[in-house]
Every structure is written in structure tokens, then in C-alpha cells.
Amino acid sequence: MTLIPSLLSVPVAPGIAARCAEARTVVLSNTPVNGEYRLLTLDAPVEVLACQPGQFFQLLCPEPEGEHPFLRRPMSIYGYDAEAGQLQFLYKVAGAGTRGLATLRPGDGLNVLGPLGQGFTMADDWQDLLLLARGVGLATLAPLARMAQQKGRRLTAICSARRPELAMSVDLFQGYGAEVIVVHDEDGSSAPDALRALIEARITAGRVDAFYTCGSSRLLRLLQDLGARHGIPGEIAMEQQMACGLGMCQACVRPFQEADGIVHRRVCREGPVFPIAEAIA
């Protein structure tokens, strides 16, 4: 494995800097996990493995036949292990970039840039955590389960999907000691009213100190309402189209609600993780 340039220092705000690296990794495996998603495992140098849950990488995807992805593709970190020298991404084949990723075979090289962005935090008084996400959003939240276990927190993971067999990361969450609840569209258990009743019951039992979610506007609005009603904080990893991933191009700017009004922030630099109460669906 060879680092390409030196570490990059990217300004975030006055007095604050983030460090990332561009590196060549080697594919260890690239296998389907169900009918929609694939798991990419890379042999990666230590310089790109100082990660936090919620951060992401910019991947220089191979060109599939007849297609030419112009920009790197942002990809949330699914797993990282500095001791083993491994980095993992869970992805769905949906466009030219991910079609290129699907062509990778063991031994192939892949150029990555990261880790990028601001990851999840976990306040000392957040002892009972509730994670709610759907589809690939669960991949973004997967490293959070390891953080919760390391910090001795109790975690409930509500995994939503169209069908039960498409629920992501169930075994991983259980392996980190989480109570896993699978909800899906086929029986209506993933509907907002059903989720509200499920979460309200846990709040009433005193089993929720903080929420975590990713991506879905519907789930964001639900948790915002429950958080406002019960005084429960939380964090969301926002999904957004990105170009540079470094905060320079301003392509990923979104509005956020603060006490004094609307502010605009770059999802790639000030995020992708933000307080749930400030996010605008």
C-alpha cells in the first residue's frame, strides 16, 4: 500500500483544522450481502484509519464499460479497524460510480480520500440510545454501535426496510450488544404512526436519552417531533450531493435552523453529522 500525497489539512473554521489523506487501498473482497447491497472491504494504510463514526470518504470509482464517472463518490464508512488495516463500505449499485465499484475484484487497487467531515458525538448523560434508520442509512450508523459498546451505553437499533430480508446490519448491531427491532413495509410496522407508538413506549419506560438517524426526511421529522415533545436530543447524518468533499466548492450547502434564524452550512465540512433539532428535512 502506498500513500499518494502527504496528509491534507483542510480549514473548517477559524482555529480548527481537519486532516485527511489520499491513499491507494487494495480490495480484499467485494461481495453481495442481499439482493440490493454489496460490502466492499479494503486493505488500507493506517493514515486513513483514524476515523470517527459518521465520517465519509471520497472514492475514485473505476469506469464501468461505456461510462465515465467524472467526480469522486462520497461514501459513508461502514467499518474501520486500524489494527487489522481494514476499511469497509456498504453500497447499493445505483449509478455509474457504484457500477464501477461493483467491478472491483480482490487484488484491485482503489484510490480513497478521507476520512472527511465531522462524526457523531455521545454526551456523557446519553446512556440509553435509540438508533432509527432505513436502508443504506443503517450503514452510516453501523460504526455508532461499536462506539456505544466501547462507552458502555445501552443501544436499541430500529432497522427499517421494504421487506424483512432487506433489513441491513442486523447481525452487526446484535454483535455489539444492541437490542434490534426490525420494522418493514409489508406488515405496516415501518409506518410513521407505528414507529411513533413504538418509540413513545420506550420513552415512557425511561429508555431513551438520545436519538440517532441518517438520511430519511420522514424519520427526521418523526424524531424531531418526539424530541421536541419529550426534550430528547440527538444527531443526524445528512445525505447530500457533493463534489469536492472538502468544503471548497460549496455544492453541498443546506439550510439549518438555529435559535436566531436560518443559517447555511456545508454538509461535507460542518457535517455530515448535525443536531437533529437544527436539521431541515
User: Is 97 labeled as ligand-binding?
Assistant: yes
Cα–Cα distance between 14 and 212 in angstroms, integer? 28
User: Is 61 labeled as ligand-binding?
Assistant: no
| 158-175 residue pLDDT tens | 999 888 888 888 889 999
User: Is 76 labeled as ligand-binding?
Assistant: yes
Helix (H) or strand (E) holding 171: helix 170-175
Cα–Cα distance between 141 and 157 in angstroms, integer? 9
Contacts of 5 (CB under 8 A, 6+ apart): 21, 22
Question: Could you tell me the three cell numbers for 229?
Answer: 415533545
User: Is 98 labeled as ligand-binding?
Assistant: yes
Pairing of strands 16-32, 8-13: antiparallel
Span 244-255, mean pLDDT?
92
| 45-64 residue pLDDT tens | 999 999 999 999 999 999 88
User: Is 75 labeled as ligand-binding?
Assistant: yes
Cα–Cα distance between 111 and 237 in angstroms, integer? 24
Domains and CATH numbers, the chain: 8-116 (2.40.30.10), 128-278 (3.40.50.80)
Q: How far is CA 240 from the centre of its chain?
A: 12
Per-residue pLDDT for 277 more than 90? yes
Radius of gyration for the alpha carbons in the chain, expressed in angstroms and rounded: 19
The residue written with cell numbers 469506469 in the block is 63
pTM confidence score: 0.88
Average per-residue pLDDT for the chain: 90
- pLDDT at residue 12, rounded to an integer: 41
Per-residue pLDDT for 259 more than 90? no
Q: Tell which wins on pLDDT, 34 or 190.
A: 190
Banded pLDDT at 18 (limits 50, 70, 90): low
Per-residue pLDDT for 206 more than 90? yes
- The angle formed by the CA atoms of residues 174, 195 and 278, to the nearest 5 degrees, is 95
Span 104-120, mean pLDDT?
97
User: Is 73 labeled as ligand-binding?
Assistant: yes
